Structure 1
Amino acid sequence: TLGHFPQSFQYASIGGFAVTRSSGQSSAGYGRFDSLVVGLTVATPQGTLQLGNSPANAAGPDLRELIMGSEGAFGVVTAVRVRVRPLPQVKTYEGWRWASFAEGAAAMRTLAQAGMLPTVLRLSDENETAINLAKPAEVGGESAGGCLMITGYEGTPEAVEAKKAAVTALLAGLGGENQGPDSGQAWSDGRFHGPYLRDSLLDVGVLVETMETVTFWSNLDHVYTAVKDALVGALGEATLVLCHISHVYETGASLYFTVATKAADEPLPQWDVAKQAASAAMVRNGASITHHHAVGQDHKPWLAEEIGPVGVQMLRAVKAEIDPTGVLNPGVLIP
């Protein structure tokens, strides 16, 4: 198995995973998709590019990194060579309760920096926890109902037992409350259902959308607050903003926001205003415009601010040399 199962899995392709730097729910244990790629074959207007002829090298910049994240702007990926692992003999999940989102995030940071990440590690803020546990009376944050963390373990029985024991001891020592397997298993069983709700909610007048970012641990709470404030400011006080962390690194973590509000008669312009406000809050507060949703057209206006003028010049130079007539996925990525 690749262990790579993002929420888009039912509609995605392996080449799409590569060129968008996809990240799945088991990234803590298996890694992001770009870390699983050994080699790529890419068809370009200048000929075929074959990459990944050795497990590692020092032969200049790694050109695989140029293709991964390129969104088809530099070539069409025709083959991907990936690292696979044996199918896990055991999969098990648990839920943990934390008094606040900040406390849960601090525990995630401790796990990551101690080199003790489970296969799955996810933390919902107070609002998302209340919604997921069907407790709407607790929506509103301020530790109303605490925060739910999901831990998941995959592998051999011996490896799972050892990792689970170590993680359990650390989380309990930090003040987490073990909720047992039920909430964790419920999350696993229903994790592909969420996107199918959007159209039904729109039909009854509820605008629902998502966005995500990533930043360093020292900046996480600041970005979390800034983006929430930007969304509520753009959409009104009746807006409900949910957030979770599901991709964790030694140096930082992603923030994934779900937004729900009353839909206007024209919901697209309504969302565009909110998207612009939240994107500005991300980039101008030191976070990335995207962790795993890629750039495309929606995020392209913010890319130049993130990578700077020299970065833009480099991307344009590659595009001009490889695809001078602009036939490859025009309109995406390149500012």
Structure 2
Amino acid sequence: MTAEDHAALSAAVGPAHVDVTTEARIRHAGGRSTPDLLRRREPDQDAPDAVVRPAHHDEVRACLDVAVARGIAVIPFGGGTSVVGALDPERGAHHAVVSLDLRRLSGLVRLDEVSGEAVLAAGTTGPEAEALLSAHGLELGHFPQSFRYATIGGFAAARSSGQNSAGNGRFDTMVTGIRVATPTGDIELGRSPGSAAGPDLIRVFLGSEGIFGVITEVRVRVHPIPRERVFESWSFPDFTSGVEGLRRVAQQGNGPTVIRLSDEAETAVSLAQVGKIGKVLAKGTSVVTVYEGEGIDERRTRVSAHLAAAGGTSSGTGPAEDWLKGRFDGPYLRDSLLDAGVFCETLETATTWTNLQTLRSAVETALKGGFSAAGAKSYVMCHVSHIYPTGASLYFTVLAGVRADPLGAWEPVKARVNDAIIAAGGTISHHHAVGRDHAPWLSQEIGETGMRILSAIKRELDPAGILNPGAVIPLERND
């Protein structure tokens, strides 16, 4: 940045909130995928030219005005938990790039207990949101694995899905209103709980990953904190029977708040580690269920009947309770694994119940074949943690022994997997979003007309192209 750029941004947010220190810049140099972790270990790497921290909507608006006037790219930054390259400090055609850190936009803006709605500032983290709501006996109940650090604005921008999705829904279903600052003007949406006043523009910004504007406030549904929580685990002889059990539960409705199926590989590695699971469960697949709220006994009875009819056997409460205790710890083991020469990464997709097994097989084949071509052995695990009446998600974790150039080995494997997902009829992302990692495959999912629609919205709201260049829409399509 030039001295004039620095002065203009300082005028917008205050000199103390324009940070050009090495530590601040490196902490905002990307997200938290395994490739991001590997890049952080390199001696030379791209980083934003400054970290700018606005405190409220008007300061965000002022930052965007400065960026447009001075030709500075802006990367909106919430909790920094993206795993798809959405936070890379890409300048595009601009001479400088800044990370717009939204953590000072934090807090409960207002609460309507009668309507069951809360407005939260976009930089509020998951734990902060739950603490603020719990003071009123309420909760949002959205718990993705990134919960400890991810923000309300990030949940909205990436169309997040948390572990309680079976009961509380995805985050985008919780959103009833939104406030956004765009380079060409502000917009506030969500006048009523239902409307036929044209297309729902809220959905334009949910999943937009900061390419159309900066989300500053989100209005969400909230509900009373559940007074009771009941755990139960199940074992199945194989993945196919476990999937059938989940399909029956999804299509009967009003089931558990949490339901998750781990395949044979994940069951053996993850659940058997707690030392409280019998040999039968460790050799098969496992299902975790958690019930919250009202009518637990009735719901549990109906769900149990469906799981048993599909071949499941109840394994008691212990495995499910142990799973929840370590739920948020998994991502933080990757650095230690990398130190030991073990590459560990995750990816996810979704499809219909009819196509689920075909898609799972295609992804596993692509992963194992890709690492084999790189001369590395691999171990692939899969689970289903988000279910719908018509289908479900698939979440994969892969371990591979790659000591020399793991990033170089992973990139062609990831491309092979993305090709396989599209060819097998899956979505390029169920809840990790698009970022830059998936952007080259988006057109194959939504078609050329879909890409033209996104590009047209981008040109209208961000004609200078300052917002997150190359994310979602590849740079070559931004002209």
CA displacement at 1:308 relative to structure 2: 0.5
1:81 corresponds in structure 2 to 219
Match of 1:123 among 237, 240, 261: 261
2:300 corresponds in structure 1 to 164
Q: Is the Cα contact below 8 Å between 1:202 and 1:263 reproduced in 2?
A: no
1:139 corresponds in structure 2 to none
What are the Cα deviations for residues 100-129 of structure 1, in whole angstroms up to 9, with x where unaligned? Answer: 101100111111111143100100000000
Match of 2:315 among 166, 173, 179: 179
What are the Cα deviations for residues 59-112 of structure 1, in whole angstroms up to 9, with x where unaligned? Answer: 110001100000010100111000000000011211100011011001111111
Tell me if 1:297 matches 2:436.
yes
Q: Equivalent residues in 2 for 1:134-153 (5 A)? A: 134=272, 145-153=283-291
What are the Cα deviations for residues 165-186 of structure 1, in whole angstroms up to 9, with x where unaligned? Answer: 2211222233210000000000
Match of 2:409 among 270, 274, 281: 270
- Partner secondary structure for residue 466 of structure 2: coil
1:318 corresponds in structure 2 to 457
- Partner secondary structure for residue 211 of structure 1: strand
Tell me if 1:200 matches 2:336.
yes
- Partner secondary structure for residue 150 of structure 2: coil
CA displacement at 1:58 relative to structure 2: 0.5
Tell me if 1:250 matches 2:389.
yes
Question: Hey, which bits of structure 1, 4+ residues long, moved more than 4 A?
Answer: none
Rounded to whole Å, the distance in 2 between the matches of 1:272 and 1:254 is 23
Name the aligned partner's letter for residue 331 of structure 2.
P
Tell me if 1:154 matches 2:262.
no
Name the aligned partner's letter for residue 269 of structure 2.
I
The structure with higher relative contact order (CA 8 Å, sep 6+) is 1
Rounded to whole Å, the distance in 2 between the matches of 1:232 and 1:144 is 23
- Partner secondary structure for residue 319 of structure 2: helix
Larger of the two Rg values belongs to structure: 2
- Partner secondary structure for residue 319 of structure 1: helix
Considering only aligned residues, what root-mean-square deviation do their CA atoms show, in Å? 1.4
Name the aligned partner's letter for residue 202 of structure 2.
R
- Partner secondary structure for residue 263 of structure 1: coil
1:114 corresponds in structure 2 to 252
Q: TM-score, normalised by structure 1?
A: 0.95
Name the aligned partner's letter for residue 364 of structure 2.
K
Rounded to whole Å, the distance in 1 between the matches of 2:381 and 2:310 is 24
Name the aligned partner's letter for residue 284 of structure 1.
A
Name the aligned partner's letter for residue 421 of structure 2.
M
2:345 corresponds in structure 1 to 209
Name the aligned partner's letter for residue 75 of structure 1.
G
Q: Is the Cα contact below 8 Å between 1:230 and 1:281 reproduced in 2?
A: yes
1:90 corresponds in structure 2 to 228
Match of 1:60 among 189, 194, 198: 198
2:370 corresponds in structure 1 to 234
Rounded to whole Å, the distance in 2 between the matches of 1:286 and 1:160 is 36
1:29 corresponds in structure 2 to 167
Q: Is the Cα contact below 8 Å between 1:28 and 1:117 reproduced in 2?
A: yes
- Partner secondary structure for residue 38 of structure 1: strand
Q: Is the Cα contact below 8 Å between 1:116 and 1:166 reproduced in 2?
A: no
* Unpaired segments ≥5 residues, structure 1: 136-142
Q: Is the Cα contact below 8 Å between 2:349 and 2:427 reproduced in 1?
A: yes
- Partner secondary structure for residue 133 of structure 1: helix
Q: Is the Cα contact below 8 Å between 2:342 and 2:400 reproduced in 1?
A: yes
CA displacement at 1:144 relative to structure 2: 7.8
Tell me if 1:48 matches 2:186.
yes
Q: Is the Cα contact below 8 Å between 2:167 and 2:254 reproduced in 1?
A: no
- Partner secondary structure for residue 172 of structure 2: helix
1:138 corresponds in structure 2 to none
Rounded to whole Å, the distance in 1 between the matches of 2:310 and 2:345 is 34
Rounded to whole Å, the distance in 2 between the matches of 1:175 and 1:76 is 48
Rounded to whole Å, the distance in 2 between the matches of 1:134 and 1:163 is 28
- Partner secondary structure for residue 134 of structure 1: helix
Rounded to whole Å, the distance in 2 between the matches of 1:67 and 1:186 is 37
What are the Cα deviations for residues 221-269 of structure 1, in whole angstroms up to 9, with x where unaligned? Answer: 0000010000000002721000000000011100000000102311111
* Unpaired segments ≥5 residues, structure 2: 1-138, 274-280, 475-479
Q: Is the Cα contact below 8 Å between 1:279 and 1:302 reproduced in 2?
A: yes
Q: Is the Cα contact below 8 Å between 1:122 and 1:149 reproduced in 2?
A: yes
Identity of aligned residues (%): 53
Q: Is the Cα contact below 8 Å between 1:98 and 1:176 reproduced in 2?
A: yes
Name the aligned partner's letter for residue 180 of structure 1.
G
CA displacement at 1:162 relative to structure 2: 1.8
